[in-house]
Amino acid sequence: MEKKNLLLGLIFLYFFCLIATIYLILQQAGKTVPEPALQKWKMFPKEAIAILRIYGPIGLSHGFGFPVGVDVDRLIKRLQDLREKPEIKAVVLKINSPGGSVGSVQEIYSEIKKLRQKGKIVVASLGDVCASGGYYLACVADKIVANPGTLTGSIGVILELANLEELFKKIGVKIETIKSGKHKDIGSYARTLTPEEKEIFQNLINDAYEQFINSISEERNLKRDKVLQFADGRIFTAQQGLKLGLVDRLGTTEEAINLAAELAGMKGKPKVITEFEPWEKILDLFSRYSERKKISFPDILREQKVRFEYILE
């Protein structure tokens, strides 16, 4: 009997402890700002800097000739995720890209801009090359840090069309085209462009170029006339770019991280979060392997039909 009473007492004590623990947990969960001393024990830091890599041609990751490139969809998803994370105070964009297709570049540009509008500090750290569309993305950052020898600039738009008319004549191939309007086959590789078509393409290029110039002028606080002086497609080293106002500071990625922490008002050594989760690294490895495929001649033609890009050749 005595043992049974003891057992009942213990069961009662257990349930009392259970209720008390649940109460303590709910009390802790209700605290919006955890106690500083517990920060290091938490799974997620209170303040952090995210590093986002933009490596390779943008928007052409699955195309011919570019085994490594930027997966635009994944990058945009990552930017959107970072935008919603309150612990991310700043984002360092590590850019090593010659540029890419206009639409993809502008989509990423727009996402980075939204990130800034959300109050996050964005610092661009330029790698070997950050030209054309790569620079388009960098210019939206609060600050641009680059190594002295980084290649940048190449501000402009390029559109290349293959003309295989003479080749087709030699091998006796004739492409018959039936179209709904006179410009429906504009840019066809089977014939030479008409002067009118050339003008249409030139206007297209000019418009995209204007958008590029306006973005640089607006984001970098540079006068439009000044931008036009060097925005003729030429490339610069970051040291030259510094004098022109294309770059804010010469330095490494570590210095870019420190600058981001400083601008975000973070104290002490900043906690840095890289953008890749371990499982994404593994997937990345497999996707790179799968891209090592041979592409047939028709695919090459399809790929080469229209290139409308902010890219360094």
Partner 1 sequence: MNYEIIYDFLTQPKIAIAKIKAERPWLLPFLVVTFAFFTQSLSVLQFYIKGERNILFFLGTFLLLRIFLIVIILFLLSAFFHSFAQLLGGQGRTEELFLSLGFSFSPLFFLLPAGIFLHFLEVTQLISKIWLIFFLYNFLNFLLFFWILYLQILSIKEIYSLSVGQAIWVYFLPFFIFLAIGLILVTILIFSIVFLFR
The set of catalytic residues is: 132, 184
CA distance linking residue 275 with residue 273, whole number of Å: 6
Q: Name the E strands within 2-56.
A: 48-55
> Which residue in the block uniquely carries the two structure tokens 């569309």?
133
Contact 128, 150 (CB under 8 A): yes
Q: Which of residues 270-299 bind partner 1 (CB under 8 A)?
A: 285, 289
Q: In this chain, which of 1, 2, 5, 37 binds partner 1, going by CB under 8 A?
A: 37
Q: In this chain, which of 5, 32, 117, 177 binds partner 1, going by CB under 8 A?
A: 32
Q: How far is the CB of 3 from partner 1 (least distance, A)?
A: 6
21 is a contact residue toward partner 1 (CB under 8 A): yes
CA distance linking residue 88 with residue 63, whole number of Å: 33
28 is a contact residue toward partner 1 (CB under 8 A): yes
Angle of helix 195-220 versus helix 102-117 axis, rounded to 10: 20
Q: In this chain, which of 12, 25, 62, 110 binds partner 1, going by CB under 8 A?
A: 25
What is the amino acid identity at position 9? G
CB-based contacts of 145, cutoff 8 Å, min separation 6: 123, 124, 125, 126, 247, 248, 249, 250, 251, 252, 253, 255, 256, 259
29 is a contact residue toward partner 1 (CB under 8 A): yes
Q: How far is the CB of 286 from partner 1 (least distance, A)?
A: 9
CB nearer to partner 1: pick between 3 and 174: 3
Q: In this chain, which of 2, 5, 26, 195 binds partner 1, going by CB under 8 A?
A: 26
Residues engaged in binding partner 1 (CB under 8 A): 3-4, 6-7, 10-11, 13-14, 17-18, 20-22, 24-26, 28-29, 31-35, 37-38, 41-43, 285, 289
